[in-house]
Structure 1
Amino acid sequence: MGPHLTGKSTFVSRLSLELRKSGYQVATIPALVERAQRLGIPILHNHTWASTMWFITRGISDELEAWAHADIILVNGAVPDALAYYQAALEYRGDEASDAEIEHLEDLVRHHSSNYNLLFRTAVAGDAHAEDGNRDDDEREFRRLADRWVRRVSESLDLASLPLPPTNRDSALDLAISYVTEHA
């Protein structure tokens, strides 16, 4: 879980490689952003209720498809991220969703998230300006909102997650490999 540009893809790729070396059948569920862009689905600060439903249901569907042929499924951008991005987009735009809409999304995310065995959560590093390079202030602000909402969604849905530090992720990698070894 976590906002974009915080190293989720790199960590998932590294973990996948290590698990495959150990003989596991690994399915990697990529982030859905590129697919959404190709389809014209609103992303980032333009998220809508409908686009959020697409991200949640497409993510769930992709994960369910992977269950049929993999020992381990690694998800780059877990389903709760979609809800967090929607909440961040609403705050960024100064919009509100109805309680019923949010409750519906939360129910979907909560029920599906019970399938996750181990969640890591990334965060925007303290020096976001250095990390964002040539991104503008609006992009930085939205990313900070997404970071805050990922944490809020995780807490409000009582999703246990482990922090994935911005640097030296070897201990997190070792922990994930140990978890798989013990539970596979």
Structure 2
Amino acid sequence: MAYDFAPLFRSAIGFDRLAQLVDTATQNPVSPSYPPYNIEKLSDAQYALTMAVAGFGPDDIELTVQDNTLIVSGRVGDAPAQGREMLYRGIATRAFERRFVLADHVVVESADLTNGLLRIAVRQIVPEALKPRRIPVSSGRAMAGNEAAATDPAKAGMAHPAMAAQTAVPTAQVAGCCAA
């Protein structure tokens, strides 16, 4: 099934990654159910991923972040039974790999394995450049950058001082031109 994202792209910029995510999700409709996991939202920027991995030790689990994807994989080595005969195996220790797509600016902070539960701390860190900021609006005055450029030829991009003298207007003339 293909989705038409043309209406979205008419009014939005930079959402092509969203289209790729939807395409990937629809191509792989059957996801494995082992091991079971929970995803919790702890705050606006903090999440916790908890996986039930009974029978696995810290050395049996590997976490990798690659291309905005968290890959959690587990493999238990073949340990000899040492004279034990297993009559029933209800605790699965088969190899697994789970993939979680991370949004932009999401980092995996830590991972802890306690009592058969692997807890992965994830945080969204918004860079300063992306945080909302207020832009002051001026009225009838030259912008600060233009004032500096008019008085300093180096800031105006003029290499030669003689060129600056030809193009710069003395402040007294500008102030006196409109006075009656």
TM-score if structure 1 supplies the norm length? 0.21
Higher relative contact order (CA 8 A, sep 6+): 1
Query: Who wins on radius of gyration, i.e. which is larger?
Result: 2
